Amino acid sequence: MRIGILSDIHGNLPALESVLKKIDELRLDRLHCLGDIVGYGSFPNECVELVRSRCTIVVKGNHDSGMTGETSIDDFNNLGQQAIKWTRKQILPEHFEFLKSLPMMATDGSVTYVHSSPAEPDQWTYIFSIRSAEEAFSAFTTDLCFIGHTHVPVIIGEDMSINAYTPPRDKSGNLQRRFLINVGSIGQPRDGNPEAAFGVLDTETLAYELVRVVYDVEKAAAAITKAGLPTALAKRLYQGV
Ligand code: ZN
Protein backbone atom coordinates (compact mmCIF):
# COMPACT_ATOMS: atom_id res chain seq x y z
CA MET A 1 0.00 0.00 0.00
CA ARG A 2 1.22 3.52 -0.85
CA ILE A 3 0.36 6.15 1.70
CA GLY A 4 0.66 9.94 1.70
CA ILE A 5 1.84 11.68 4.88
CA LEU A 6 0.70 15.29 5.22
CA SER A 7 1.81 17.77 7.88
CA ASP A 8 1.62 21.41 8.94
CA ILE A 9 -1.16 22.49 6.60
CA HIS A 10 -1.77 25.61 8.72
CA GLY A 11 -5.02 26.73 7.14
CA ASN A 12 -3.48 27.08 3.67
CA LEU A 13 -6.30 25.79 1.43
CA PRO A 14 -4.68 26.58 -1.97
CA ALA A 15 -1.62 24.51 -0.93
CA LEU A 16 -3.73 21.64 0.43
CA GLU A 17 -5.93 21.50 -2.68
CA SER A 18 -2.86 21.34 -4.95
CA VAL A 19 -1.36 18.58 -2.82
CA LEU A 20 -4.60 16.56 -2.90
CA LYS A 21 -4.73 16.94 -6.70
CA LYS A 22 -1.19 15.55 -6.92
CA ILE A 23 -2.14 12.73 -4.52
CA ASP A 24 -5.09 11.80 -6.73
CA GLU A 25 -2.75 11.69 -9.75
CA LEU A 26 -0.37 9.43 -7.81
CA ARG A 27 -3.34 7.20 -6.86
CA LEU A 28 -2.21 6.80 -3.26
CA ASP A 29 -4.18 4.29 -1.22
CA ARG A 30 -4.39 6.11 2.09
CA LEU A 31 -3.54 9.46 3.69
CA HIS A 32 -2.38 10.28 7.22
CA CYS A 33 -1.92 13.73 8.80
CA LEU A 34 0.66 14.79 11.40
CA GLY A 35 -1.22 17.83 12.74
CA ASP A 36 -1.07 21.63 12.72
CA ILE A 37 -4.07 21.70 10.42
CA VAL A 38 -4.88 25.24 11.63
CA GLY A 39 -2.94 28.38 12.62
CA TYR A 40 -1.25 31.03 10.38
CA GLY A 41 -3.52 30.56 7.32
CA SER A 42 -6.98 31.92 6.61
CA PHE A 43 -8.90 28.71 5.78
CA PRO A 44 -9.00 26.69 9.03
CA ASN A 45 -12.50 25.25 8.55
CA GLU A 46 -11.97 24.23 4.93
CA CYS A 47 -8.66 22.51 5.79
CA VAL A 48 -10.11 20.62 8.79
CA GLU A 49 -13.04 19.55 6.60
CA LEU A 50 -10.71 18.12 3.94
CA VAL A 51 -8.45 16.36 6.46
CA ARG A 52 -11.49 14.82 8.17
CA SER A 53 -12.82 13.51 4.87
CA ARG A 54 -9.52 12.31 3.38
CA CYS A 55 -7.18 11.21 6.18
CA THR A 56 -7.26 7.96 8.17
CA ILE A 57 -4.78 8.63 10.99
CA VAL A 58 -4.66 12.23 12.25
CA VAL A 59 -2.53 13.29 15.23
CA LYS A 60 -2.59 16.60 17.11
CA GLY A 61 -0.21 19.52 16.46
CA ASN A 62 0.76 22.31 18.84
CA HIS A 63 -1.29 24.88 16.90
CA ASP A 64 -4.35 22.59 16.99
CA SER A 65 -3.76 22.18 20.73
CA GLY A 66 -3.15 25.92 21.22
CA MET A 67 -6.37 26.73 19.39
CA THR A 68 -8.44 24.41 21.61
CA GLY A 69 -6.77 25.84 24.74
CA GLU A 70 -5.11 22.56 25.76
CA THR A 71 -1.64 24.04 25.19
CA SER A 72 -0.85 27.55 26.44
CA ILE A 73 -0.03 29.93 23.58
CA ASP A 74 2.22 32.05 25.86
CA ASP A 75 5.24 30.30 24.33
CA PHE A 76 4.07 30.93 20.74
CA ASN A 77 5.71 33.81 18.90
CA ASN A 78 3.67 36.97 18.37
CA LEU A 79 2.52 36.03 14.84
CA GLY A 80 1.48 32.57 16.05
CA GLN A 81 -0.51 34.02 18.95
CA GLN A 82 -2.35 36.49 16.73
CA ALA A 83 -3.21 33.73 14.26
CA ILE A 84 -4.50 31.40 17.01
CA LYS A 85 -6.73 34.16 18.44
CA TRP A 86 -8.10 34.84 14.94
CA THR A 87 -8.65 31.11 14.30
CA ARG A 88 -10.56 30.65 17.57
CA LYS A 89 -13.15 33.17 16.33
CA GLN A 90 -13.54 31.39 12.98
CA ILE A 91 -13.51 27.70 13.81
CA LEU A 92 -16.81 25.80 13.67
CA PRO A 93 -17.76 23.99 16.91
CA GLU A 94 -17.63 20.54 15.29
CA HIS A 95 -14.13 21.19 13.93
CA PHE A 96 -13.04 22.50 17.35
CA GLU A 97 -14.24 19.24 18.93
CA PHE A 98 -12.54 17.18 16.22
CA LEU A 99 -9.18 18.87 16.86
CA LYS A 100 -9.61 18.44 20.61
CA SER A 101 -10.32 14.72 20.16
CA LEU A 102 -7.11 13.99 18.24
CA PRO A 103 -4.50 11.62 19.73
CA MET A 104 -0.94 12.82 20.32
CA MET A 105 0.62 9.78 18.68
CA ALA A 106 -0.41 6.75 16.61
CA THR A 107 1.26 3.54 15.46
CA ASP A 108 0.29 1.49 12.43
CA GLY A 109 2.35 -1.60 11.54
CA SER A 110 6.03 -0.64 11.41
CA VAL A 111 5.38 3.11 11.46
CA THR A 112 4.84 5.67 14.26
CA TYR A 113 3.13 9.02 13.59
CA VAL A 114 3.57 12.07 15.86
CA HIS A 115 3.66 15.85 15.33
CA SER A 116 6.81 16.93 17.21
CA SER A 117 8.69 14.04 18.90
CA PRO A 118 7.71 10.62 20.24
CA ALA A 119 9.61 11.57 23.43
CA GLU A 120 7.03 13.48 25.53
CA PRO A 121 4.97 14.56 22.51
CA ASP A 122 2.98 17.10 24.54
CA GLN A 123 6.19 19.08 25.22
CA TRP A 124 6.34 19.98 21.49
CA THR A 125 10.12 19.54 21.23
CA TYR A 126 11.74 20.64 17.96
CA ILE A 127 14.14 17.97 16.70
CA PHE A 128 16.99 20.30 15.74
CA SER A 129 19.76 18.75 17.88
CA ILE A 130 21.47 15.36 18.22
CA ARG A 131 20.24 15.16 21.80
CA SER A 132 16.58 15.67 20.85
CA ALA A 133 16.95 13.15 17.99
CA GLU A 134 18.50 10.54 20.34
CA GLU A 135 15.70 11.06 22.86
CA ALA A 136 13.19 10.59 20.03
CA PHE A 137 14.77 7.27 18.93
CA SER A 138 14.59 5.90 22.47
CA ALA A 139 10.84 6.65 22.54
CA PHE A 140 9.63 4.55 19.58
CA THR A 141 10.14 0.91 18.62
CA THR A 142 8.94 0.82 15.00
CA ASP A 143 11.23 0.99 11.92
CA LEU A 144 10.07 4.47 10.98
CA CYS A 145 8.69 7.47 12.84
CA PHE A 146 7.12 10.29 10.84
CA ILE A 147 7.24 13.81 12.28
CA GLY A 148 6.52 17.41 11.25
CA HIS A 149 6.65 20.54 13.46
CA THR A 150 9.90 22.16 12.21
CA HIS A 151 8.50 22.59 8.65
CA VAL A 152 11.90 21.43 7.35
CA PRO A 153 12.03 18.05 5.57
CA VAL A 154 14.84 15.77 6.70
CA ILE A 155 15.60 12.07 7.21
CA ILE A 156 17.57 11.23 10.37
CA GLY A 157 19.11 7.77 10.86
CA GLU A 158 19.56 6.14 14.26
CA ASP A 159 23.33 6.71 13.86
CA MET A 160 22.48 10.44 13.48
CA SER A 161 23.14 10.41 9.73
CA ILE A 162 21.23 13.05 7.79
CA ASN A 163 19.69 12.44 4.37
CA ALA A 164 17.63 14.90 2.44
CA TYR A 165 15.46 12.62 0.33
CA THR A 166 15.82 8.84 0.57
CA PRO A 167 16.81 6.57 3.49
CA PRO A 168 19.97 4.57 2.60
CA ARG A 169 19.65 0.83 1.83
CA ASP A 170 22.05 -2.09 1.59
CA LYS A 171 22.70 -4.05 -1.65
CA SER A 172 19.62 -6.20 -1.06
CA GLY A 173 17.50 -3.09 -0.83
CA ASN A 174 16.88 -3.38 2.91
CA LEU A 175 16.80 -0.30 5.11
CA GLN A 176 20.13 -0.05 6.95
CA ARG A 177 18.70 1.31 10.18
CA ARG A 178 15.68 2.97 11.79
CA PHE A 179 14.68 6.46 10.69
CA LEU A 180 12.95 9.61 11.86
CA ILE A 181 11.42 11.22 8.79
CA ASN A 182 10.23 14.83 8.74
CA VAL A 183 7.85 15.29 5.79
CA GLY A 184 8.10 19.11 5.78
CA SER A 185 5.11 21.42 5.60
CA ILE A 186 2.24 21.81 3.15
CA GLY A 187 1.03 25.24 4.21
CA GLN A 188 4.16 27.06 5.41
CA PRO A 189 7.45 25.48 4.21
CA ARG A 190 10.53 26.85 5.98
CA ASP A 191 13.40 25.26 4.03
CA GLY A 192 13.72 28.11 1.54
CA ASN A 193 11.53 26.34 -1.02
CA PRO A 194 7.98 27.77 -1.19
CA GLU A 195 6.54 24.60 -2.77
CA ALA A 196 4.23 22.51 -0.59
CA ALA A 197 5.87 19.33 0.76
CA PHE A 198 4.50 15.90 1.68
CA GLY A 199 5.81 12.34 1.99
CA VAL A 200 4.92 9.11 0.17
CA LEU A 201 5.64 5.72 1.76
CA ASP A 202 5.27 2.23 0.32
CA THR A 203 4.30 0.26 3.45
CA GLU A 204 5.52 -3.08 2.02
CA THR A 205 9.01 -2.04 0.88
CA LEU A 206 9.32 1.03 3.17
CA ALA A 207 10.48 2.99 0.10
CA TYR A 208 9.99 6.68 0.84
CA GLU A 209 10.03 9.85 -1.21
CA LEU A 210 9.45 13.54 -0.53
CA VAL A 211 7.15 15.25 -3.04
CA ARG A 212 7.05 19.02 -3.72
CA VAL A 213 4.06 20.72 -5.31
CA VAL A 214 3.81 24.20 -6.81
CA TYR A 215 0.64 25.96 -5.65
CA ASP A 216 -0.98 29.40 -5.96
CA VAL A 217 1.01 31.28 -3.27
CA GLU A 218 -0.53 34.58 -4.43
CA LYS A 219 -4.02 33.29 -3.65
CA ALA A 220 -3.04 32.07 -0.15
CA ALA A 221 -1.16 35.30 0.63
CA ALA A 222 -4.00 37.56 -0.58
CA ALA A 223 -6.51 35.65 1.56
CA ILE A 224 -4.30 36.07 4.67
CA THR A 225 -4.12 39.83 4.12
CA LYS A 226 -7.85 40.11 3.37
CA ALA A 227 -8.68 38.20 6.57
CA GLY A 228 -6.84 40.82 8.63
CA LEU A 229 -4.08 38.41 9.70
CA PRO A 230 -0.49 39.82 9.99
CA THR A 231 0.96 40.57 6.52
CA ALA A 232 4.24 38.89 7.56
CA LEU A 233 2.36 35.57 7.42
CA ALA A 234 1.50 36.27 3.78
CA LYS A 235 4.99 37.47 2.79
CA ARG A 236 6.87 34.47 4.19
CA LEU A 237 4.98 32.08 1.89
CA TYR A 238 6.74 33.54 -1.19
CA GLN A 239 10.18 32.70 0.23
CA GLY A 240 9.33 29.45 2.00
CA VAL A 241 10.65 30.69 5.35
ZN1 ZN B 1 3.51 23.79 12.31
Give this prediction's pTM: 0.96
- Asked whether the predicted pLDDT for residue 12 surpasses 80, the reply is yes
Q: Residue 108's pLDDT is what?
A: 96
CA of 171 to the centre of ligand 1 (A): 37
Of 17-31, 121-135, 166-180, 207-221, the one with minimum mean pLDDT is: 166-180
Contacts of 240 (CB under 8 A, 6+ apart): 189, 190, 191, 192, 193, 194, 195
Q: Give the residue, 23 or 204, on which the prediction is more confident.
A: 23
CA of 83 to the centre of ligand 1 (A): 12
CA of 182 to the centre of ligand 1 (A): 12
Compute φ and ψ for 95, nearest 5 degrees.
Answer: -75, -35
Please compute the mean of the pLDDT values over residues 158-172 and round it to a whole number: 83
CA of 148 to the centre of ligand 1 (A): 7
- Asked whether the predicted pLDDT for residue 136 surpasses 90, the reply is yes
Q: Residue 156's pLDDT is what?
A: 95
Would you put residue 240 in left (φ > 0), alpha (ψ -120 to 50) or beta? left
Nearest CA-CA partner of 70 in 60, 82, 79: 60
CA of 173 to the centre of ligand 1 (A): 33
SS3 129: coil
SS3 209: strand
CA of 172 to the centre of ligand 1 (A): 37
CA of 165 to the centre of ligand 1 (A): 20
Q: Residue 218's pLDDT is what?
A: 98
In order of start, what are the domains of the chain with their CATH numbers? 2-239 (3.60.21.10)
- CA–CA distance from 173 to each of 44, 145, 177, 205 (Å)? 41, 19, 12, 9
- Rounded distance, CA 227 to CA 241, Å? 21
CA of 195 to the centre of ligand 1 (A): 15
